[in-house]
Amino acid sequence: MAPACSKKRVRALTSNTEPMASATAPVMYWMSRDQRVDDNWALLRACDLARERGAPVVIAFNLLTKYLGAGARQFGFMLRGLRELEAKARAAKATFAMTYGDEPAAAIDALAKKIGAKTIVCDFSPLRDGVRWRKDLAVLSEKRGAHVEECDAHNVVPCWEASDKLEVGARTLRGRLAKRYPEFLKEFPAIPDDLVEYDGPAIDAVKWDDLLAEALKRGEAVPEVTWAIPGETAARAVLDDFVANRMKLYEKRNDPSKPRALSGLSPWLHFGQISAQRCALEAKKAVGKASPAAYDSFFEELVVRRELADNFCYYCPGQKYDEMEGQKYDWAKDTLRAHAGDKRPYIYTLEQLERAQTHDDLWNAAQRELRYGGKMHGFCRMYWAKKILEWTESPEQALKWSIYLNDTYSLDGRDPSGYVGCMWSIVGVHDQGWKEREVFGKIRYMAYDSTKKKFNIPDYIARVNALVKAAKSDFKTGEKSSAANPGLFSIDVSGVKRKADAMA
Ligand code: FAD
Ligand code: FO1
């Protein structure tokens, strides 16, 4: 049988570029960013290598104790998704193993040594920590003659194939990606059904309930949200509902009072519980239920903008994707510096922002949607970040605080799209200069008065108020009311139908 995964998706991280030939030693897939069994090129690559050798596949995941401010909300979502994944992997005859600690390379290397794995496939991350972890594992593995490679399972076009440099913006990346779709935007093969089962040294059973209890306790300051059902099954249900019933509304995506127009997929995409490529393929199949314009706009965000964010984080100088200094955008840095001394109309502390205690009812609603719902509407995110620039002492502080709030409260935070979203709003990344004004200089401005002409702000505020009420009550009662879902869509998993309010 031909290999399932194209070699163009894969690159070696160790110098012994050919995967080690070994009949029975397992092939290990170190899963990190792409936490799913279905539609996962890195897992398919591990299966290809295992089948060539008649060897088993072990999927290893290293659990951190802390990650960029994530709390119970995010660790809970991730762990519950992984618990589902373990069972799914078992059904496919792949074995799931968990390692622990904040030095993932050392933990993964120790497990690889224990089970005799000499071929390790990693998924890809453009973030500093992800790049370092994989390099560290390559160094450790090289010492014991093991081979490590990475396979981009997150992007439709592998980040390094799409471009080998920092792109100016969507304008320049769009065409490069389009040229490669015939090669990469293809249907996924199923996991082969003839994998050999692992029967090497014992792998410790994962104590899911204990791990969850620990993570929830440690991160209790930011509790789980009840609406976001974790895992691959729920992710697919959200996608199916979106393409069948809601993609037709996508042209209204910039209206926060119509939240069902958004896919709502970002939490699952962030944790890799669904593949963006799968979303693109299903959206294409369902174009007749929406419109070509709705499909094109969705594809632009899902593929072009999302993959542009990976390009930025991976290639920006020194990987300082969350800092103003070090960026190539001289016009933006110059203009922000020139206006650093401008008097701000309001100055708020981080605590006032966090508690949504500003003079601006729209901004407060957006912050409350983030804090209690775990996901802010996409349009509001721009307004929200730009106002943080306007109401803090410096662009550096604005950037730091917006990233802190986003990473702490958003399910989909700690993601390239989040860093780029904040950098776009505050530092002009991927944007151009606009009419010069106080504080912002030439950075694009957003005003309350013009925003209120674009959508019905009171409707949005009323929806957020209902969300906060439902979320607070759900936290106490353990209910899962649909009003607590920022997207007001239903997630129909295993016959459990959650009815969303009929607000399209
Ligand atoms: P949909 O409109 O349905 O889009 C589908 C998918 O396309 C999204 O899930 C996402 O993967 C991708 N996408 C959509 N818009 C963008 C964009 N502008 N840039 C890159 N990818 C995009 N996105 C995150 O995933 N995580 C974040 O932490 C995050 N923080 C942001 C912060 C700010 C200040 C800004 C301006 C944007 C941020 N975004 C972030 C981008 C975007 O707002 C979200 O991806 C989107 O709102 C997620 O909701 P959805 O899945 O319902 O969106
Ligand atoms: N990845 C891991 O490999 N282990 C973790 O424990 C882990 C926790 C985590 C928490 C919040 C979050 O948003 C993501 C998390 N991830 C974790 C995934 C992480 O985003 C990816 O590993 C990135 O690729 C790292 O660069």
Q: Is the CB of 378 under 6 A from ligand 1?
A: yes
| Cβ neighbours of residue 230 closer than 8 Å, sequence gap 6 or more | 76, 77, 78, 80, 81, 84, 271, 273
Ramachandran sector of residue 393 (left: φ over 0; alpha: ψ -120 to 50; beta: rest): alpha
Give the chain's domains with CATH numbers: 7-163 (3.40.50.620), 323-451 (1.10.579.10)
Residue 147 vs residues 18, 111, 141, 422, 487: alpha-carbon distances, Å? 8, 15, 7, 37, 44
Q: How far is it, in rounded angstroms, from Cα 275 to Cα 187? A: 12
Indicate if ligand 1 lies below 6 Å from the C-beta of 485. no
Q: How many CA atoms lie within 13 A of 373 on its CB side?
A: 26
Taking CA atoms only, the protein residue closest to ligand 2 atom 3 is: 32
Q: Which residues of the chain have pLDDT under 50?
A: 495-504
Q: Residue 379 Cα, ligand 1 centroid: separation in angstroms? A: 9
Q: How far is the CA of 13 from the centre of ligand 1 (A)?
A: 30
* Nearest residue (CA) to ligand 1, atom 43: 378
Measured in Å, residue 70 CA sits from the centre of ligand 2 at 9
**Closest ligand to residue 304's CA:** 1
The 3-class secondary structure across 346-379, one letter per residue, is CCCCHHHHHCCCCCCHHHHHHHHHHHHHCCCCHH
Contact between residue 414 and residue 68 where contact means Cβ atoms under 8 Å apart = yes
- Counting ligands in written order, the one closest to the CA of 104 is 2
In angstroms, rounded to a whole number, what is the distance separating the alpha carbons of residues 262 and 245?
A: 11
The single-letter code of the amino acid at 21 is A
Angle, helices 378-390 vs 416-427, to 10°: value is 50
pLDDT reported for residue 258: 93
Nearest CA, atom 44, ligand 1: 378
For residue 67, the CA-to-ligand 2 centroid distance in Å is: 7
Distance 299 CA to ligand 1 centre (A): 12
pLDDT of residue 498: 41
Q: Cβ(376)–Cβ(405) under 8 Å?
A: no
pLDDT in tens, 170-189: 999 999 999 999 999 999 99
Taking residue 182's Cβ as centre, other Cβ atoms within 10 Å add up to 8
Alpha helices, H only, 189-305 = 208-218, 232-241, 266-270, 276-285, 292-299
pTM (two decimals): 0.97
- pLDDT tens digit string along 197-249? 999 999 999 999 999 999 999 999 999 999 999 999 999 999 999 999 999 99
Cα–Cα dist 487/504, whole Å: 10
Token digits of residue 417: 């799209």
Ligand 1 contacts CB of residue 53 (under 6 A) = no
Which of 33, 206, 222, 270 best tests ligand 2's pocket when mutated (most atoms within 8 Å of CB)? 33
Residue 380 CB less than 6 A away from ligand 1: no
pLDDT at 499: 38
Residue 3 corresponds to which amino acid?
P
Question: Closest ligand 1 atom to the C-alpha of 412?
Answer: 26
Atom of ligand 1 nearest to the CA of 302: 7
Is residue 33 within 6 Å of ligand 2 at its C-beta?
A: yes
- Give yes or no for a contact between 344 and 439, defined as CB atoms under 8 angstroms apart: yes
